[in-house]
Amino acid sequence: MGAAAKSAQLSPTAGLAQVRQITIGPDEAGQRIDNFLLRVCKGVPKSHIYQVLRSGQIRVNKGRIDQTYRLLEGDTVRVPPMRLPAPSDHKAPAAEFPVLFEDEALLIIDKPAGVAVHGGSGVSHGVIEQLRAARPAVRFLELVHRLDRETSGILMLAKKRSALTALHEQIRLGQLDKRYLALVKGDWQHRRQHIKLPLFKYTTLEGERRVRVQADGQPSHTVFNLLRKYGVYVLLEAELKTGRTHQIRVHLASSGFPIVGDDKYGDYALNRDLQKPDGRRIAFRRMFLHAYRLRITHPITGEPVDVEATLPKPCVDFLQSLEPKAVNATESA
């Protein structure tokens, strides 16, 4: 390999033992540096990539950058030698997931709760690895965005580099309409409420990724619509105006309405109580957060794409067990 590649299209594991200088081409422009590195350094543990980023060993145009830097065409990225894990015979099992939309450029699935979108952080494999194993003939398949492991619902994957780039641009410009269903406990008052709280990502001493409200955090905006009250429980629709990590969960928890079943930011005593049935109310053992609607512009055709993922049965059954106490939002206004 020469001192500089003409573009970032290179063998994923080529030269991992030596310094590489990679020149960004038009297909890579617009990507965040961390996502770019995760792709070109396949096989390197995610935690190691972020460690190298934080240490300043990754340079763009000979200067230091942070993990949020977005690459520009013509940028030169210095990638230091990367540590590969010990060889393993373990392979991700092939698996398919309910398909909501698919064509030659785009795949949209309904991800179940409890399944990670990718391997790492103690998880050997996730949706992306399982789909690649199930579709070996597909030359390109990448996550467009992420969902938390315990969140169910709509997940987009790109089958072409051009589609991935176009969708990332829609995300950057806030052109996606992404909506979630969330159940909280408390006296929610407003039919429609905007929450704008800056969010700061950090890592605990145990290495766990967390988010908190902090003045110098990233600007974050969620709109919540009251759908229905179930006694002390409230079903909300969340509209994402920005797409920060754990945004809905932290915005609700910081406002005094943690999501039912949230094991990071939730009401732990409530979650423990809900794991056992109480009278007509059945037990509930997951986080009640579901990505149920997505509206985008098709990255290739320019046509609108509108998909919905129905609420999973455990969530429906739980709401039905609260049904005698249900009150429509219009009745409670």
CATH number of the domain within which 48 lies: 3.10.290.10
Distance CA 25, CA 46 (A): 24
One domain, residues 75 and 104: no
The pLDDT, as a whole number, for residue 6 is 38
One domain, residues 207 and 251: yes
Q: Answer whether residue 90 is part of any domain.
A: no
The pLDDT, as a whole number, for residue 35 is 83
Q: What is the DSSP letter of 86?
A: P
One domain, residues 37 and 128: no
Q: Answer whether residue 151 is part of any domain.
A: yes
Q: Count CB-CB contacts under 10 A for residue 70.
A: 15
Q: Answer whether residue 252 is part of any domain.
A: yes
Distance CA 131, CA 141 (A): 8
* Structural tokens at position 7: 């573009």
The pLDDT, as a whole number, for residue 41 is 82
Compute CA distances 143 → 19, 118, 303, whole Å.
27, 9, 21
Distance CA 328, CA 124 (A): 43
Alpha helices in the chain (DSSP H): 33-40, 46-55, 127-134, 161-172, 247-254, 268-274, 313-321, 329-332
Domain range for 124 is 99-162
Closest C-alpha to 218, from 66, 58, 49: 66
Phi, psi (deg, nearest 5) at residue 46? -60, -40
Distance CA 53, CA 144 (A): 21
The owner of tokens 């129905």 is 310
The pLDDT, as a whole number, for residue 14 is 41
Q: Pick from 116, 142, 162: which residue ends a domain?
A: 162
Closest C-alpha to 26, from 190, 170, 213, 165: 165
Active site residue 278: no
Distance CA 83, CA 17 (A): 8
Closest C-alpha to 118, from 191, 213, 219, 38: 38
Q: Answer whether residue 44 is part of any domain.
A: yes
Q: Answer whether residue 53 is part of any domain.
A: yes
One domain, residues 142 and 64: no
One domain, residues 49 and 157: no
One domain, residues 213 and 326: yes
Strands (E), the chain: 20-23, 59-60, 63-64, 76-79, 99-102, 106-111, 142-143, 152-158, 177-185, 192-196, 199-203, 209-213, 221-230, 233-240, 289-297, 304-308, 326-328
The pLDDT, as a whole number, for residue 13 is 40
Alpha helices in 198-278 (DSSP H): 247-254, 268-274
User: Per the structure, how many domains does the chain have?
Assistant: 3
The pLDDT, as a whole number, for residue 202 is 87
One domain, residues 134 and 214: no
Length of the chain: 333
One domain, residues 73 and 104: no
Q: Answer whether residue 241 is part of any domain.
A: yes
* Full-model pTM: 0.74
* Structural tokens at position 71: 């690459």
The pLDDT, as a whole number, for residue 50 is 85
Catalytic residue selected from 75, 148, 262, 267: 148
Q: Note the pLDDT tens digit of each residue in 12-59.
A: 344 466 788 999 988 778 888 988 888 888 778 777 888 888 888 899
Q: Which pairing describes strands 152-158 and 289-297: parallel, antiparallel, or unpaired?
A: parallel
Closest C-alpha to 314, from 283, 274, 291: 283
**Parts of the chain with a pLDDT under 70:** 1-17, 83-90, 120-124, 206, 324-333
Helix (H, G, I), strand (E, B) or coil at 331: helix
Q: Answer whether residue 168 is part of any domain.
A: no
One domain, residues 62 and 136: no
Distance CA 274, CA 120 (A): 30
Phi-psi region of 125 (alpha: psi -120 to 50; beta: other; left: phi over 0): beta
The pLDDT, as a whole number, for residue 324 is 67
